[in-house]
Amino acid sequence: MAAVSTKCENNGEASDEYSPKNKKTKRDQENSQGENVKEGDENVLSGFKTTNVLSDSAREKVIFVHGKLDEQNAVVILEKTPIREDTLAEIFAASTLTLDMRNDIYSTYRLQAPPHLNELKATVVLPATEKHVKKYQCQESFLVEETAEDYQAITLPFIQKQSFSVQWVYNILEKKAESERIVFEDPDPKLGFVLLPDFKWDQKQVDNLYLIAIPHQRNIKSLRDLTSEHLPLLQNIFQKGKDAILEKYKLPAGKLRAYLHYQPSYYHLHVHFTNLGYEAPGCGVERAHLLADVVQNLRSDPRYYKTRTLYFPLRADDGLLGQFKEAGKL
């Protein structure tokens, strides 16, 4: 997905687990505003002591930093945000310019934009578990082949043993967190879902639009659990998700990529909606399954995802990869 580079690049993929311990902190409530932190708010990062850089990407202008905040392990993700067209006039009018070089008709400058147009997006995981730290560390990936039998014998027991916390998902469904960020909700317990911006999106511009649809139903772990029984749920998410995005962001269905991850980052079924023009992390063929294809496949074979061999990449340090190796499958 990323260009070949000598420097390891993290694709910004979210980690499997989000500690439920910090769900009620003041910081979380501030984050969940989804907008600029109010003026006069304390800088919770002022005491951050960097341990090491886990990974970075010059192309994506992002850095993943491991460190300590009040004796606790923390991961901080800093990211330069896209330049919005509606800020151009102010950037041109109100910036400070320093000439770097001039040659013929060409010149380059260092441009200092007004502070409010020069923000970084900061994502904080506190306390960060060993898993978070490892997840953002630069890692080699391997493509795994998972038959239906492999899923039953290797993957399912691994998921159950790990019991990845999806407390943050339940917080969203129960309106205990991020409730003001909800874009659309269908409250039906069987067919309903919540649509809201993913953490990865700063919501400043539609160019990198990234929303997730989370079903109210709690018993569907992933693509593997889906059967034709779930077609009404999937079609409901597809139709109402597209409608809500058109209404709120004026982005028509033809500009949208709706898909599921396998393996997912967290085992509560969710659908990703991203701007087609944005090469979102994890939208490559090795991990993304178009919702439209999933619907078609379940229509032609109700047990399609229960029986097919599925392929997906795993990072070298992923416990699941270890299980596949132990079983002699790699």
Return residues touching ligand DD3 (CB under 6 A).
14-15, 18, 123, 125, 132, 168, 178, 196-199, 265-266
231-249 vs 291-300: helix crossing angle, rounded to 10: 160
Task: Report the residue number whose CB is nearest to ligand DD3.
Answer: 14
Distance between CA atoms of residues 132 and 20, nearest Å: 13
Helices (H) and strands (E) in the chain, counts: 10, 14
Please report how close the Cβ of residue 274 comes to ligand DD3 at its closest, in angstroms: 12
Please report how close the Cβ of residue 77 comes to ligand DD3 at its closest, in angstroms: 6
N- to C-terminal Cα separation, the chain: 22
State which residue, 168 or 273, has the beta carbon closest to ligand DD3: 168
Q: Supply the DSSP symbol for 37.
A: P
Please report how close the Cβ of residue 167 comes to ligand DD3 at its closest, in angstroms: 9
State which residue, 74 or 154, has the beta carbon closest to ligand DD3: 74
Q: Supply the DSSP symbol for 324.
A: H
Catalytic residue among 230, 268, 270, 272: 270
Residues contacting residue 157 through CB under 8 Å, at least 6 positions apart: none
Q: For residue 272, give both structure tokens.
A: 């990703």
Backbone angles phi, psi at 234, to 5 degrees: -65, -40
What b/e sequence results for 56-78 when a residue is b if at least 16 CB atoms lie within 10 Å of its CB, and e otherwise?
Answer: bbeebebbbbbbbbeeebbbbbe
State which residue, 166 or 233, has the beta carbon closest to ligand DD3: 166
Please report how close the Cβ of residue 125 comes to ligand DD3 at its closest, in angstroms: 5
Q: CA 71: distance to chain centroid?
A: 27
Active site residue 270: yes
State which residue, 168 or 324, has the beta carbon closest to ligand DD3: 168
State which residue, 73 or 265, has the beta carbon closest to ligand DD3: 265
Distance between CA atoms of residues 131 and 177, nearest Å: 23
Q: For residue 270, give both structure tokens.
A: 């969710």
Please report how close the Cβ of residue 296 comes to ligand DD3 at its closest, in angstroms: 27
Which residues are the active-site residues? 270
